Amino acid sequence: MDTQPPAAPGPVDPPQSADAPPPPIPAPAAPPPVAQAPLEPVPSSAPAYWQGGAQVTGPAPGVEFAGYGARIVAYLIDGILINIAVWVIVFFAILTGSGSEINIIATILIGLAILLGLVYFPFFWQRTGQTPGMQALNIRVVRDKDGGPVSWGSAILRLIGYGINSIVFGLPIGWLWILFDSRRRGWHDLIGSTVVVKA
């Protein structure tokens, strides 16, 4: 009877040490991203006409700068109106130009004429942004930073700028600055922080 040799023993797993680290624990899956609600636009403090259409043609969307010619014509109209009012007051002052009491009245009238010339522009600028001349040409002076209404302070500074426009050798450099400024501002606009737009 044939005898077969015993089978070779299979590989024996090495004994695990008691100090062996445990198998790593898989990290939990990341949670799905949470969709965030779209942020609402912050309301602007600028007037509605300063937030117009998408096409930018001036200082703000939907707003156009006033033309140089329209500004000149508006200023001439205002100058004529001021001169008419001043000459009417001076005429009455001349009629009352005799006697001590009448001379006082004439002086008051002349002072009123000077005051009218000084207050005319700032009054209309801060009230509606339009002098009668600007209203006739459909243009308006507004705050440069946001198109808001002009304050008394800015209106007075703008009037002072009228006198500074020709301070360099008597040349109208401040007026001509409108032709070169990207926002069509003269020196008076830069001083008063204003800009002139189509109404």
Residues 121-170 pLDDT 10s: 999 999 999 999 999 999 999 999 888 999 999 999 999 999 999 888 78
Q: What element of type H or E holds 40?
A: none
Q: What percent of the chain has pLDDT over 70?
A: 68
**Continuous H helices in 47-99:** 68-95
- Residue 106 is classified by DSSP as H
Rounded to whole angstroms, the Cα distance separating 179 from 65 reads 12
Rounded to whole angstroms, the Cα distance separating 25 from 44 reads 54
| Phi, psi values for residue 195, rounded to 5° | -150, 150
Provide the residue type at 118 as one letter: L
More confident residue, 4 or 61: 61
Q: pLDDT tens-digit profile of 55-79?
A: 545 677 778 999 999 999 999 999 9
CB 16 within 8 A of CB 23: no
Q: pLDDT tens-digit profile of 103-124?
A: 777 778 788 888 888 899 999 9
Identify the CA nearest to 58 among candidates 181, 190, 193. Answer: 181
Show me where the domains of the chain are located. Answer: 62-198
**How crowded is residue 91: how many other Cβ atoms within 10 Å of its Cβ?**
10
Place of tokens 């062996």: 20
Q: Is 81 left (phi over 0), alpha (psi -120 to 50) or beta?
A: alpha
pLDDT at residue 25 above 50? yes
